Structure 1
């Protein structure tokens, strides 16, 4: 009985003491989203580009830079903000070797606020306003130099059941080696004002099958569509077959200011990959209609035969793709991948040169490093070499050698880590 009384008295005293000590202030939702759970990205990039071309200019430069990004977490699961500043500065840039697209014309460095957006979310639907990345088949970052393409406008993306969707109205574009946003029509080389209406759908009813389609329209300039499908299936132990096909069509519309009257173009492609453990063998084909060259002013051309230097998308052009890659993780060298690709002109309209391109790429990602070398884990080193053999209509030959070394190092921090 006495023991129970003592315990009761002690518990009552502890409760009074707890009431006397103020509880810690709860972290506000704003502070959590804008600081504690906000993300700071520091991405350093170094890029050496050296091209030797027997038929023309020999662009070369070495640039350093990258981007700094800040993104809040979702505020009340509804609102988010983000900013990304990009820069590219010359480290070695001879005046007489301009044209690498690593820098502004004249081998000049630049800096630009490439992304500045607010995003609103309702369940799985996200509305993004102002400067942003867009990653659709024909409208994309084209991140093959120092900084990517970015766009101004409004976009909505999300999922409706098994279908993912994207819809946007884009008004301006920052090209990958520029520090200014210009009108969508100006980005295509037309001195007018216009907007782009862009939409895309993705569908994957089963894990083995993925399909997508997209369309963009720029009034009085161009309408362009793209569709593809990828099917993957096991064929033996540790071996898979991946088959993909693509079709794209575009035409001038309205006043046809970009292409002139009666323009249309189409491309058909098919590709197959045999994947056995770390080894991938590739064969593909693309064929172009003969009415006009494919227009790709808003990003990388998505054709299977898009190579380091050449895009095989000229009028009447047919090209064969052959290649192989090997991931050395199977041999204990995680992060090391070597690849080789060849694109061979099978046919092209008369009067145009025939190009055969041979590409070699070595990638090493340091993500497997641990212990004292763990600080190197975000490092990605890429070395690329392309050789283009050109046979001209007058039976003369040209040669192009393209050599690149790209270094990426990215850190992502949160406010709670600081």
Structure 2
């Protein structure tokens, strides 16, 4: 299962897993696509067994799955999609996205510019069993991605509604400003992100990619809606080695440095998290 709101989120090597039924085309294709699904349970990273989706939202007295419907259209540089996720008596999450590749330049090796906007609407439904209910909130984001000869520059911004944090225990964030540690999805937070990556294949280093990303979020700390947690910054530096042919094909080495800061006042951080991560994956060919 891989959708904007529910997905494996395997960046930390232990992916989320899901149980249920899915109706979708066997192969993704251009043009109109669709999906309908009912998932009964999922397995979080830190547990050995599966739990219900309502339990994942902190509702001990409920045992509900999630009903998912969605459709997308892709053609002539356009990618348009919408999906909805309904969990009985707790939460409904709707997502929409429009992405467009600007039509200039016919050379595959030339510059390209892609622009996109998305919005996630989240609100309590039915018996409103989730903590803090009833409420309605949202997270909207926009981005521009430019690329040229292996160099990719991304600029993005996002805004989260002031009624509540975005609940997303079932996958990676839909926001374009999402980073490794924070996704700037706390209530009433505005965020900005800049990301620069470079593929070193043109320099003779096939499969080597360098990336740097910086994001900043700010808002109004509120104990009732965001736990007093608003202003924050994060810097991510990443080295990736992933050869596409030869004896090492299937190997992926990723090394990351993360610096995340939380601010109680405009100048001095109250909390500072530094992390180094190293991940090595190798897909062994059996045939």
Taking structure 1 as the reference length, the TM-score comes to 0.63
Asked if 1:219 is matched to 2:88, the reply is yes
Cα shift readout 1:160-195 (whole Å, capped 9, x = no counterpart): 982111111111111123321112211222111112
Q: How does 1:111-260 map to 2 (within 5 A)?
A: 134-158=1-25, 162-191=31-60, 192-206=62-76, 208-235=77-104, 238-260=110-132
- Between the aligned partners of 2:219 and 2:103, the Cα distance in structure 1 is 34
SS for the counterpart of 1:382 is strand
Task: Assess, with a 3 A threshold, how the Cα gap between structure 1 residues 181 and 362 changes in structure 2: closer, same or farther.
Answer: same
Contact 1:143 1:176 in 2 (8 A): no
Q: Residue 235 of structure 1: CA displacement?
A: 4.0
Task: Assess, with a 3 A threshold, how the Cα gap between structure 1 residues 324 and 265 changes in structure 2: closer, same or farther.
Answer: same
SS for the counterpart of 1:411 is coil
Task: Assess, with a 3 A threshold, how the Cα gap between structure 1 residues 176 and 352 changes in structure 2: closer, same or farther.
Answer: closer
Unmatched tracts of structure 1, length 5 or more: 1-133
1:271 aligned partner: 143
1:358 aligned partner: 235
SS for the counterpart of 2:54 is helix
Q: Residue 234 of structure 1: CA displacement?
A: 4.8
Task: Assess, with a 3 A threshold, how the Cα gap between structure 1 residues 304 and 179 changes in structure 2: closer, same or farther.
Answer: same
Q: How does 1:83-98 map to 2 (within 5 A)?
A: none
Asked if 1:291 is matched to 2:163, the reply is yes
2:275 aligned partner: 402
- Between the aligned partners of 1:289 and 1:157, the Cα distance in structure 2 is 32
- Between the aligned partners of 1:353 and 1:289, the Cα distance in structure 2 is 12
Q: Which moved more, 1:158-167 or 1:322-331?
A: 158-167
2:225 aligned partner: none
1:320 aligned partner: 192
Cα shift readout 1:236-291 (whole Å, capped 9, x = no counterpart): 56111111111110100011111433211111111001111110111110011111
- Between the aligned partners of 2:80 and 2:56, the Cα distance in structure 1 is 29
SS for the counterpart of 1:144 is helix
1:337 aligned partner: 209
User: What root-mean-square deviation, in Å, do the aligned CA atoms of Structure 1 and Structure 2 show?
Assistant: 1.9
SS for the counterpart of 1:366 is coil
- Between the aligned partners of 1:412 and 1:166, the Cα distance in structure 2 is 31
Q: How many residues align?
A: 275
Q: Residue 393 of structure 1: CA displacement?
A: 4.9
Greater CA radius of gyration, 1 or 2?
1
Q: Residue 367 of structure 1: CA displacement?
A: 2.6
Cα shift readout 1:371-408 (whole Å, capped 9, x = no counterpart): xxx1x221110001110122115965321101100000
- Between the aligned partners of 2:47 and 2:185, the Cα distance in structure 1 is 25
Unmatched tracts of structure 2, length 5 or more: 223-227
Cα shift readout 1:25-75 (whole Å, capped 9, x = no counterpart): xxxxxxxxxxxxxxxxxxxxxxxxxxxxxxxxxxxxxxxxxxxxxxxxxxx
Q: Which moved more, 1:232-241 or 1:357-366?
A: 232-241
Contact 1:320 1:346 in 2 (8 A): no
Higher helix share: 1
Contact 1:222 1:251 in 2 (8 A): yes
